[in-house]
Every structure is written in structure tokens, then in C-alpha cells.
Structure 1
Amino acid sequence: MKICIAGAGAIGCALAARLAKVHKQLCLLARGDNLIRIKEQGIHLSDLDGEHHVHVRASDDANFLGPQDLILVCTKTMALETILTSIQPMIHSNTVVIPVVNGIPWWYFKGIESRFGGENIRALDPKDQLETLLPHSQIIGSVIFLTASRVGLGNVKANNPHLIVLGEINHEMTDRLEAIRTVFELAGIESRSTDNIRDQLWTKVAANLTSNPLSVVTQSTLEQIYSDPRLTPLVRSILDETMLTAAAFGAKIRFDPPTFMELGAGMGAIKTSMLQDYEAGLPLETDAIGNSVLELASKMDLSMPTTKHIINLAEFMSEQQRSVA
């Protein structure tokens, strides 16, 4: 199987470091200084299993890398249109693309019958470009539980266990799903297949939404967010609003709130990806992590007042910071 990881951020590099050890045809689509460093020195990952150092075929030219059987799109949602455009030369009729992204995916209403079947999430794909670039029949959904941070170009640290959950977006259990699950399993990444990827998505959405925007507003780690008594009432309010919205769409979050809070606190003194972006002066993923959920809530005439206030504050802080810079 020819595998390409499109995007060399923390998650992309972590996956590349594990997958390249057993999948020798793996390649990486990257750019800029990151690409130069990876070409020169490879990728280094420090995780619970030790130190991993790999050299991979890397380029910023999809034509050079050629057609691929499996593409993992590891990018911020704001860059999806750009990266899906750039990988077109790598996609053939049987290529499977797995978007490894945060939040509600743009394909949420594709592949299944529902009241909103076929609609797009406007916060993510206002011009229907993503659907045009990537037919939903070639997508396998994913939910990744991997907390990674970049400590340098091509150098990543991940202090928690790695888990990826995979599912066809039409909820069927297929041979290609099992084959791709095995790809991750052979690389030492715990991998599970599911017949309802949307349930798993909401679990991750709840984790992202209760932590990411609030981490920017309070400059707090995951441990602080889920355990400090001054913050936990806000977290619980956001969690309750999210669970109600998930339930309105027939989804099940598999953890009860107290267990959810305990698991969050147990992640330790880790900065969320959104806080890392804020500190780096980068745009925040509030559309995927937050505004898309608010959009879904509005479809069911639900309000998420606490969630909306915290997202607004995070966006305000980001705009203020970037205007000064």
C-alpha cells in the first residue's frame, strides 16, 4: 500500500514516525523550513514507547510523490481546501483519504439518510468546495486521540497513548476499513473500527470544545481546565450543552460527565493545540471545534450560551493579538 501523509505538523509527524517503520513506501507532503529539515535530518518522535527516528521520502510536489492508495490529511481545517487541491495528482479512483482533523467534519451529513442528508456544514465549507475536491465515497472518517506537540522542525513529543478510531461515513463495515485499521495496528498505534463513526466524533468534539477555547481564554493546561474548581463549572456547562446537541442528532457520548472530567484532568499539564496556535500567533480552529457545533445546535433550535461566550472570547483575544503583531 502506498501511503502519503499530507501535512507535517505535530500529528502528521507523529504518525509518519510510527508508520514509516513498517510501511516502507510511506511519503510525506510538506513545505517550507519543515520540509527542508525533514529532508536533511528525518523525523524524530519521542513517545511512551521510546525514541523513533525515521527518514521518509518528502516533497512539496504531489506530482513528484505520485498516485497513492491511502492519504492521511493532517492539517488545520482552515487549510483543507488548499491541501485537498494540492493532493489531487495523488488521488486515483480507489484512493482512500482519511481527514485527520479536529471538530465536526464537513462531510457530517454525507453518506447517511437523515433530516439534513447531503447538506454541508457552512462554517467549514461555505462554497461547497471540499465536496467538489473529494467525493465522500473516497473518505474514511477518523477520530484520533493523540496529544502531540512540536518541539522543533520535524521533532515531536507525545506523552499519552496513541489511539485512532476509523469508520466508513455510511456506517458500513468494509474490507477496506479493516485493511486500513491494520495499517495502524502494525505500526504500534491502537486502532479500532466502528460502525458509527459519528458517535466517536462527538466524544472527541466534546473533549475539544470543553478545553480548546477555554485554554486560550485562561491560558490553562488540560489538567487545570478539568480540575481547578474555578474552571470546572464552565467546563461542565459546555459539556452539558454539547451532550444535549449530540443527543439531538442521535449520537451517544460514551462517558458520563464525572468520568469525562477525570479523564481530562488525567491528561496532565498539556497545552491544547488551540493554545499552542494562540501562543504562536496563528489563526484558531474555532470554526471546526466550535462554530460548526453551534451551527448544528441551531438546526435543532438549541442554544449553547456558555459555549458561544467562551468561543467569542477566544476569537476576540486571537484577533487582538494578531492585530497588535
Structure 2
Amino acid sequence: MKVAVMGAGAVGCFYGGMLARAGHEVTLIGRQSHVSAIVRTGLRLESRAFDEFIDVRACTDASGVAGADTILLCVKSPDTQAAVEAMKPYLSASAVIVTLQNGVDNAERVRALVECEVLAAVVYVGSEMGGPGHVRHHGRGELIIEPGSSGERLARALNDAEISTSVSANVRGALWEKLVLNCAYNAISALVQLPFGELCQRGGIAVNQAMRDIVAECLAVAGADGVNISRDVDATVARIMATIPAGQYSSTAHDVATHRPSEIDHLNGHIVGRGAALGIATPVNHLLMMMVRVLDKQRADQHSLKAALADGLLI
């Protein structure tokens, strides 16, 4: 396959690196610092099984998708529309876009903008950027993709590249299950800046109860929205506790720590929005959304203040 990864951060670099390692032609589209490092030495993909430099193409411009038959869309959910608009002039009519993103509605948003095939995917992977051009894989890596004219072909290629991939007719349910996991953990982790194991150790039973409250609201909204997922709160919380690696920080925690805009509006914020539309109260998710939004705004204000001081605009 000829693959382009739009948004080559920790997720995009892992999947792009694995595909390139399996012999596919891959172009990573990302930040200048990562691109410069990859152009110099290749992508460093570090995992428990190997630590290798992989030969891939890299660029900072959306024109890198030109000629690709498969595009992995890995940008943050708030950046989806801008990324797709940037890619549109270079998209092949026969290309397939696979959305490897948090949130549950990105594929629908992309379909409204392009005519080529779009497949939603659910991503379960623990990875982080260890530095420019260096991705660390901590565990997992499974993908669930929805059926389509390209679904089975893509699943075969991904499995051949040692990326465990299945095709499911209930991707919407799987996306919501991942959303519930993210809602239960991401905002709390971001607010206290602790990895999962330490969060549970310090918070004890209070963390477990908070997750129950968050999950109960999520499942109530999902049920009212006709989503086919488990209605067992205890089982869902137990699955979350067993799924998240003890030392892992959430992506929202990383965004807050690095002063980047978070995806909170597409996580707990999505529950709040759908709950309001469906007449379901979501006070716990609303509180978490509000608190992370305050942090986002605080970071943005601090960035603006530093810029103003640097430019001599304040005295």
C-alpha cells in the first residue's frame, strides 16, 4: 500500500512505522521538529520487542497525501475539519481515509467534506513521543474498523504488519465504549497529573466511585442515543481498570501538561452535549468538562501573556 499519515504524533507514528516496517510505502505528515529528525535518521520506533530506525518519508504539508491509496487521519478531533480541507486538493478519488482518533463522530464529519471512502476505526494503543522522530510503544495496538469496500483489504494488510485488526459492523458501539473509557479516566488524570496506577493508589475507593458516576452518565446517554454497548456499570468500570496500563498518563493529561488544547469537548463534552439534546442529566461529566476547559483557557491566556511580553506589548 501507499500510505499517508496525516497527523504523525504518537499514534500516527506507531501505525505508520509498523506499516513501513512491513514494507509499505509510508509518508508521515507532522510537525517540523519530527519531520526534520525523521529525514535525517529515519523514524525511531521503540517497543518491548525491538528498537529500530525505520525508513519513511516525512513532510509538514498536506500535499504529502498525494497519490496515497490509504490515509490514516490521526489529528486531534478539534483539528479534523482543517486537516481534511488541507488534504482535499491532493486526495485521489479512489483513496480511503481511516479515522484513528478519539471521539465518536469524526468519520461522519469527514464524510461531509469528501467524496472518497471514509472508515471509522477504534484505536487501543499505548504510545508516546520520546523526542523528535522517536515514538515509544508501551503496549497494545489493536484496531477495530468498520466494514466497507476497503475494510477487509485494509484489515489483512494491517494484520500482516503485526497490527491486530478486526472488522466490525458495530464500530459505533466500539467507538462509544472507547469514549466511555476516555471519559472515565482522561479528565481526572489531566486534573491531578498522575498516571493511572498512582491515581488509583492515592484516590482509593473514591476514584472507583467517581468512575462509576461518570460511566453511569455515559451509558444513560448512550442508551438514549440508541448505541449498542454494555449497560453494566460495574463490568464497564472493571474493564476500564483492567485495560489501562498502571503507569500510563491520559492523552488529555499530556495535552494539559504540554500546554496544548485538549480534546475535552469531544470526550466528556460530547456526553454533555448529547445528554442535553436527549434530556439526560450529566452533572459529573459537565463538571469535568468545565474544569479541563478552564485549564485549557488558563494555558492559552498564559501563552498569550508570554507572547505579549516577548513582543513588548505589555509594560
Q: Give the TM-score of the pair, scaled to structure 1.
A: 0.85
Alignment partners' CA distance in 1, 2:46 and 2:190: 26
Deviation at 1:258, TM superposition (A): 3.5
Which runs of 5 or more structure 1 residues have no equivalent in the other structure? 109-124, 169-173
Deviation at 1:105, TM superposition (A): 1.6
Alignment partners' CA distance in 1, 2:47 and 2:302: 36
Deviations 1:52-71 (A, max 9, x none): 42110112234465221110
Deviation at 1:107, TM superposition (A): 4.3
Tell me whether 1:200 sits opposite 2:164 in the alignment: no
Q: Secondary structure at the match of 1:26?
A: strand
Alignment partners' CA distance in 1, 2:182 and 2:222: 14
Partner of 2:34: 34
Closer, same or farther: CA 216–301 of 1 in aligned 2, 3 Å: same
Deviation at 1:131, TM superposition (A): 4.8
Deviation at 1:291, TM superposition (A): 1.7
Alignment partners' CA distance in 2, 1:310 and 1:65: 37
- Conserved? CA contact 2:269–2:285, under 8 Å: no
Partner of 1:270: 248
Deviations 1:59-113 (A, max 9, x none): 22344652211100111112212211222243122111011110122445xxxxx
- Conserved? CA contact 1:222–1:264, under 8 Å: no
Quick one: which of 236, 257, 260 aligns to 1:260? 236
Quick one: which of 248, 270, 278 aligns to 2:224? 248
Deviation at 1:191, TM superposition (A): 0.4
- Conserved? CA contact 2:230–2:236, under 8 Å: no
Partner of 2:82: 82
Quick one: which of 186, 206, 216 aligns to 1:230? 206
Quick one: which of 122, 147, 164 aligns to 1:143? 122
- Conserved? CA contact 1:226–1:265, under 8 Å: no
Deviation at 1:30, TM superposition (A): 2.2
Deviations 1:224-249 (A, max 9, x none): 45563222211110001001111112
Which runs of 5 or more structure 2 residues have no equivalent in the other structure? 304-315
Counterpart amino acid of 1:202?
A: W
Partner of 1:324: 302
Deviations 1:207-228 (A, max 9, x none): 1111111112222222345563
Closer, same or farther: CA 21–81 of 1 in aligned 2, 3 Å: same
Counterpart amino acid of 1:95?
A: A
- Conserved? CA contact 1:215–1:275, under 8 Å: yes
More divergent stretch after superposition (305-314 vs 295-304): 295-304
- Conserved? CA contact 2:268–2:288, under 8 Å: no
Partner of 2:138: 159
Alignment partners' CA distance in 1, 2:141 and 2:64: 31
Q: CA RMSD in A?
A: 2.1
Tell me whether 1:292 sits opposite 2:276 in the alignment: no
Partner of 1:111: none
Counterpart amino acid of 1:264?
A: I
Alignment partners' CA distance in 1, 2:48 and 2:233: 27
Alignment partners' CA distance in 2, 1:61 and 1:313: 34
Deviation at 1:143, TM superposition (A): 0.4
Alignment partners' CA distance in 2, 1:43 and 1:254: 39
Partner of 1:311: 289
Alignment partners' CA distance in 1, 2:237 and 2:91: 41
- Conserved? CA contact 2:65–2:87, under 8 Å: no
Q: Secondary structure at the match of 1:5?
A: strand
Alignment partners' CA distance in 1, 2:237 and 2:269: 23
Deviations 1:253-285 (A, max 9, x none): 348434433443342111001101101011111
Alignment partners' CA distance in 2, 1:139 and 1:236: 34
1:10-159 correspondence to structure 2 within 5 Å? 10-63=10-63, 66-108=66-108, 130-135=110-115, 138-159=117-138
More divergent stretch after superposition (193-202 vs 247-256): 247-256
Partner of 2:310: none
Alignment partners' CA distance in 1, 2:107 and 2:151: 17
Q: Secondary structure at the match of 1:293?
A: helix
Closer, same or farther: CA 255–178 of 1 in aligned 2, 3 Å: farther
1:173-212 correspondence to structure 2 within 5 Å? 174-212=148-186
Q: Which has the higher helix share?
A: 2
Q: Give the TM-score of the pair, scaled to structure 2.
A: 0.88
Alignment partners' CA distance in 2, 1:163 and 1:28: 20
Count of matched residue pairs: 299
- Conserved? CA contact 1:226–1:235, under 8 Å: no
Alignment partners' CA distance in 1, 2:49 and 2:149: 30
Identical-residue share of aligned pairs (%): 20
Tell me whether 1:282 sits opposite 2:260 in the alignment: yes
Alignment partners' CA distance in 1, 2:285 and 2:151: 34
Alignment partners' CA distance in 1, 2:87 and 2:24: 20
